[in-house]
Amino acid sequence: MRTTRTLALVLAFVLTASCAFASTLQDVTKRGYLKCGTHIENPGFSALDSSGKRIGFDVDFCRAVGAATNVDVKYTPLTSKERLPALQSGEIDLLSRTTTQTMSRDTNLGLDFTVVTLYDGQGLMVRKELGITKASELDGATICLQTGSTTELNVADYFRKHNMKFTPVVFDKQPDVRKAYDTGRCDVHTTDVSGLAAQRSLMEKPEEHIILPELISKEPLAPVVRHGDNQWGDIVRWTIWLTMAAEEKGITAENVEKVSKETKDPEVQRMLGVTGTLWQNLGLDKDAPVRIIKTVGNYGDIFERNLGINTPLRLERGYNKQWNEGGLIYAPPFR
Amino acid sequence: MSQHAHEKARVPFWRNPQIRAWIYQFIMLGGLLWVAFTMYQNTLANLEKRGIGSGFGFLQNEAGFNIGETPPLPVLQGGFLWFIAALIVGLFASRAIAVWLKKNDTTITASNKSVFAVITLVGIIPVLVLFLGSDSISFIRYTESSSYVTALLTGFANTIKVTILGCIFSTILGLFVALGRLSPNWLISKLCSWYVELNRNLPVLLQLFFWYFIVLQQLPSVRKSIDIGGWLILNKRGLYLPAPVAQSGAWPFCLAIGAALIGIYFIYRRSIRLLNERGTPGKIVLPSIALLVALPTLAWLTTGTPFTFEYPVLKGFNYRGGIDLTPEFTALLVGLTVYVSAFNAEIIRSGIQAVSNGQREAARALALKERHVMRLVILPQAMRIIVPPMTSEYLAIAKNSSLAVAIGYPDFVSVGGTILNQSGQAVEIVGIWMGVYLSISLLISLGMNWYNAKIKLVER
A330 occurs within a structural domain:
no
- Closest approach of A80 to chain B, Cα-based (Å): 8
Residues of A in contact with B314 (CB under 8 A): none
Three-state secondary-structure class, residue A329: strand
Out of A160, A184, A217, pick the residue that ends a domain.
A217
Domain of residue A18 covers 2-119+221-325
Q: What are phi and psi of B232, to 5 degrees?
A: -140, 120
Residue B141 amino acid letter: R
Sort out which chain B residues have CB atoms less than 8 A from A162's CB and list them: none
Asked whether residue A14 falls in the same domain as residue A115, the answer is: yes
- Give pLDDT tens digits for B52-85: 777 788 888 888 888 988 888 887 776 777 778 8
A158 lies in some domain: yes
Contact A198, A45 (CB under 8 A): yes
Beta bridge partners of A166: A141
**Cα–Cα distance between B166 and B333 in angstroms, integer?**
6
A171 interaction partners in chain B (CB closer than 8 Å)? 405-408
Note whether B236 contacts A16, CB cutoff 8 Å: no
> What is the per-residue pLDDT for B235?
87
Whole-number pLDDT of residue B153: 93
Same domain, A8 and A114: yes
Counting Cβ atoms within 10 Å, is residue A248 exposed (0-12), middle (13-18) or buried (19+)?
A: middle
Measure in Å the smallest separation between the Cα of A280 and chain B Cα atoms: 28
CB contact under 8 A, A140 and B318: yes
Does residue A101 belong to any structural domain of this protein? yes
What residues 12-41 of chain B have any CB closer than 8 A to a CB of chain A?
39, 41
State which residue of chain B sits closest to A179, comparing Cα positions: B213
Instruction: Inspect the interface and report whether the beta carbons of B68 and A156 lie closer than 8 Å.
Output: no
Burial class (CB in 10 A: 0-12, 13-18, 19+), A44: buried
Residue A34 has pLDDT above 90, yes or no: yes
Q: Do the Cβ atoms of B414 and A108 come within 8 Å?
A: no
Specify if A334 maps to a domain: no
Do A112 and A256 share a domain, yes or no? yes
Tell whether A38 and A97 lie within a shared domain. yes
User: Best of B41, B66, B433 to disrupt the A interface by mutation (most A CBs within 10 Å)?
Assistant: B66
**B263–chain A Cβ distance below 8 A for any pair:** no
Report the percentage of chain A scoring pLDDT > 90.
64
pLDDT in tens, B149-173: 999 999 999 999 999 999 999 999 9
- From A201, A217, A233, the end of a domain falls on A217
Query: Of the candidates A13, A105, A169, which has its C-beta nearest B43's C-beta?
Result: A13
CB proximity under 8 Å: B 140-179 to A:
144
Element (H, E) at B460: none
Out of A16, A166, A183, the one facing B217 most closely (by C-beta) is A183
A259: pLDDT strictly greater than 90: yes
Contacts of A252 (CB under 8 A, 6+ apart): A246, A293, A297, A298, A301
SS (H, E, C) A22-85: CCHHHHHHHHCEEEEEECCCECCCEEECCCCCEECHHHHHHHHHHHHCCCEEEEEECCHHHHHH
Interface touch B318/A141, C-beta < 8 Å: yes
E runs forming strands in B120-247: 139-140, 226-228, 232-235, 238-241, 243-246
In B267-405, beta strands by DSSP E? 307-310, 313-315, 318-320, 323-325
Pair A109, A242 in one domain: yes
Q: Could you tell me if residue A131 is left (phi over 0), alpha (psi between -120 and 50 degrees) or otherwise beta? A: left
Q: Are residues A11 and A112 in the same domain?
A: yes
Q: Are residues A63 and A139 in the same domain?
A: no
Neighbours of A148 (CB within 10 A): 22
Task: Identify the bridge partners of residue B226 per DSSP, sorted by sequence position.
Answer: B234
Query: Minimal Cα–Cα distance from A14 to chain B, Å?
Result: 5
Same domain, A109 and A129: no
List of chain A residues whose C-beta atoms are within 8 Å of the C-beta of residue B50: 88, 110, 226-228
What are the b/e assignments for A294-306, b being 16+ CB within 10 Å?
ebbbbbbbbbebb
Residues of A in contact with B43 (CB under 8 A): 13-14
Inter-chain Cβ pairs, chain A and chain B, closer than 8 A: 146
Per-residue confidence (pLDDT) for residue A286, from 0 to 100: 92
Instruction: HSE, CB side, 13 Å, CA atoms: give it for residue B160.
Output: 14
A335 in a domain, yes or no? Answer: no
What is the domain count for chain A?
2
Among the listed residues A202, A50, A193, the one whose alpha carbon sits nearest the alpha carbon of residue A124? A193
CA distance B343 to chain A (A): 22
C-alpha to C-alpha distance for A195 and A185, rounded to whole angstroms: 19
**Terminal-residue alpha carbon distance, chain B:** 45
- The per-residue pLDDT for B4 is 56
DSSP character at residue A100: B
**Burial letters A67-85, b for 16+ CB under 10 A, else e:** bbbebebbbbbbbbbbbbb
Phi, psi (5° rounding) for residue B319? -75, 140
Residue A156 within any structural domain of the chain: yes
Angle at A38 between CA A32 and CA A44, to 5 degrees: 120
> Would A36 be classed as within a structural domain?
yes
Domain boundary among the residues A158, A191, A217 is at A217
Strands A122-127, A209-211: pairing kind: antiparallel
Regarding whether A278 and A231 lie in a shared domain, the answer is yes
Q: Name B354's Cβ contacts closer than 8 Å, sequence gap at least 6.
A: B382, B385
pLDDT of residue A163: 92
**One domain, residues A108 and A127:** no
The parts of chain B modelled with pLDDT lower than 70 are 1-9, 78, 105-115, 131, 133-137, 458-460
Residue B341 C-alpha, separation from nearest chain A C-alpha, in angstroms? 23
Report the gap between the CA of B53 and the closest CA in chain A (Å).
6
> Positive or negative, the Cα torsion across A9, A13, A18, A23?
positive
CATH value at residue A260: 3.40.190.10
Query: pLDDT of A15-28, one tens digit each?
Result: 554 444 568 999 99
Question: Does residue A333 lie in a domain region?
Answer: no
Residues 297-356 of B with CB under 8 A from A: 315-318, 320, 327-328
Question: Which of B408, B421, B430 is facing A7, going by the closest CB pair?
Answer: B430
Measure in Å the smallest separation between the Cα of B237 and chain A Cα atoms.
Answer: 6
Same domain flag for A106 and A229? yes
Nearest CA in chain A to B214: A183
Contact B430 A13 (CB under 8 A): no
Could you tell me which residues come within 8 angstroms of residue B410 by beta carbon, excluding any fewer than 6 positions away? A170, B67, B68, B69, B154, B155, B158, B328, B404
Q: How many CA atoms lie within 13 A of A266 on its CB side?
A: 2
Beta bridge partners of A48: A54
Residue B74, classed as helix, strand or coil, is strand
Let me know: does A64 contact A192? Beta carbons within 8 Å.
no
> Of the ranges A66-70, A76-80, B193-197, which one carries the lowest mean pLDDT score?
A76-80
DSSP B169-198: HHHHHHHHHHHHHH-S-HHHHHHHHHHHHH
Compute the radius of gyration of chain B from its Cα atoms.
28
A159 CA to chain B: closest CA distance, Å? Answer: 10
Neighbours of B459 (CB within 10 A): 4
d(CA B419, CA B12): 59
User: A48-57, A97-106, A300-309, B117-126: which range is least confident on average?
Assistant: B117-126
Residues, chain A: 335
DSSP H helical ranges for B228-317: 250-278, 285-303
- Domain check: are A12 and A108 in the same one? yes
